[in-house]
Amino acid sequence: MKNNEDFWEEGSFIQSVSSKEVEEKMKTLHGKDDNKKFKCKKCSKLISAHNKDWHDYMCDECFNKTYFSG
């Protein structure tokens, strides 16, 4: 990263969470959880705990359309 402006460039997804929430979400950061037991908040497709915690409760397709369509 050259400077702080790169941090805020288009295509970034940043979410504020409490230290307690971070502790819980870290459990699914690198997980290979294929157990899809949650529903995407946009299209209701089944998603994993990783998507719930790190993709704003969305499947990859809806997440990318929402935050990275440019």
Indicate the DSSP class of residue 47.
Answer: E
What is the radius of gyration, based on Cα positions, of the chain? Answer: 13
Locate the domains of the chain by residue range.
17-68
- Over 90: is that where the pLDDT of 61 sits? yes
Q: What CA–CA distance (Å, rounded) separates 14 from 11?
A: 10
31: exposed, middle or buried (Cβ count in 10 Å: 0-12, 13-18, 19+): middle
Strand partners, 39: 46
Res 20: pLDDT:
82
Tell me the pLDDT tens digit for each residue of 1-54. Answer: 455 555 556 666 666 778 887 777 777 776 666 678 899 999 999 998 888 888
Res 6: pLDDT:
57
